[in-house]
A and B are shown apart, each in its own frame.
Chain A
Amino acid sequence: MKSFAQQLSKIALLAVFALSAIVVNAQDARLRFEKLNGLETRARDVIEVNIEGKLLDLGRRAMAKSKDPNAQKVAEAIKDLKGIYVRVYNFENENEYNIADVDEIRAQLTAPGWERLANVRSKKNNQKVDVFTMFTGDIMSGVAVVLSESKSIVVVNIIGPIDIELLAELGGKLNIPRMDIENEK
C-alpha cells in the first residue's frame, strides 16, 4: 500500500514537472516590450493591447456568442490561445523613432525556438515585416509579427497555437472596432 502511494506521488510529481515545462516553454514565446515604452511620448497614436487569462476567456466567450460566421471561425482558431500582446505606434513624421528599438525586438526573435516564417522588405515606406513562429513539438507555442515602416511600428506577440493563415484570410473581413485610437497625453 505504501509503495502504491509512493508511486502515485512520483507520478504526480512528474506530471507537475511536465506541466511546468510546458508552461515555461509557452512563456518563452513572450517578448519583452520595455524598450518600446519610450516611443509612447513621441508617437501620434499608440495602441496597446494585452489580452490573457480571464480577459481572453471573456473575449472568447463573447466571440462564441456572435452570430457572425467569421467570428465563429476565429473563435475556433483561437480556442487554445494563451495570450495576445499588441503594440502599434504611429508617428507624425518619418524617422521619429530609433530603429534600434525595433531591432532589439528582432534580436529577441533570434533566440532558440523562434523560426522565421516570412521576411518582407520593401523600399516603399522603408517597410520591413518579419513573421516568426515557435513550436513545442508539433504544436505551435508562439507567433511574433514585427513590422516597421517610416512612420509606424507594429509588434504582435501571440502565445499559444493559432491558425495564422485563417487569421490572414479574415484580416479584412472581421467586424472590428476602429483602429485610430487617440493617445492619452
Chain B
Amino acid sequence: MMKEDYLWDKTGDDAEIKKLENTLAAFRYQETAPPVLEQKVFTLEKSSPRRFFRFAFGFAAFASVVAVLSLLWFQLSGSKTPVVETVSETNVVNRAQKTADDSFVAPRETVETIKAFDETKPFIAPKIVKIRQTIAPVVRRREKITARNKKFTEPVETLTKEEQYAYDQLMLALTITGSKLKIVQDKVNGIEEQNAVVEK
C-alpha cells in the first residue's frame, strides 16, 4: 500500500516509491548548458528593381497629388487676380470672334475693355500663372462671357440649311451682277466726266 504523503511532500517513508525513484534516477533532470546551435549568416540583398519601382510609383503619386493641389490653389487664387482674368477673357473673346458667323458676336465694348486691361502691364503675373490659368477656367469664363454678351447682342435669326444655301446662291448671283453693272456704271460715269471736262 502506497503512502500518499510521501508522494506529496516526502514525509514518512515509502519503500516502493523510493525504489521507483532510484530506478528512474538516471532520467532525472540535470541542468546543463544549452546546446550550441548552428550559426546561419543571412546576407541582405541590395534594393531590388521591384522595390525601386514601388518607390518610384509612390513618388509619382505624391508628385501628382502636389500638382493637382497646386493647380487648385492657382485656380482659386487666380480668380481673384485681374490680370489672369484678362488673359482668359481675351482668349475666349478671340476664339468667339473667330468662330462667330452669326450665332455669337462679342460686343465691341467688351473687346475695348479687354484691350484697356491689357495695357495695364504692371499687373502682369508670372508666365507660369498665365499658362496654367488658361487651362481650366476657360469654359467657366466662356459661359460667363456668353451670358454677359447676351445682354448686348440682338437675337440672331437662324437659317435652315436650305435657306443658307439659297441665300448664298442668291447673294453670289447678285454680287456678280452688281459688280458687272458697276463696271458699266463706272465707265459711263467716267465718259460723262470726260465730256464735261472737254466742254469746259
Contacts and interface: CB of A to CB of B under 8 A. Distances in A.
Interface in A89-140: 118, 120, 122, 129, 131
A85 B185 CA distance: 21
Interface residues of B, number: 30
Contact of B175 (A63, A158, A174): A174
B167 interface: yes
A121 B128 CA distance: 66
Nearest to B187: A120
Interface residues of B: mostly helix, strand, loop or mixed?
helix
Given A120-B188, A145-B181, A172-B182, A88 B176 contact: yes
B150 interface: no
Contacts of B185: 165, 168
B160 to A, nearest CB: 8
B184 interface: yes
A129 B169 contact: no
Contact of B169 (A59, A164, A171, A179): A59
A175 B168 CA distance: 10
Given A56-B166, A58-B166, A62-B166, A177 B178 contact: no
B181 A59 contact: no
A67 interface: yes
A177 B169 CA distance: 9
B166 A171 contact: no
Contact of B182 (A55, A65, A66, A171): A171
B41 interface: no
B173 A51 contact: yes
A101 to B, nearest CB: 18
Contacts of B187: 120, 122, 129
A39 to B, nearest CB: 16
A49 B172 contact: yes
B72 interface: no
Contacts of A145: 177, 180-181, 184
B179 A86 contact: no
A36 interface: no
A171 B172 contact: no
A95 to B, nearest CB: 21
Interface of B: 154, 156-157, 159, 162-185, 187-188
Given A120-B188, A143-B177, 6 more contacts: A59-B163, A62-B159, A129-B180, A145-B177, A174-B175, A176-B175
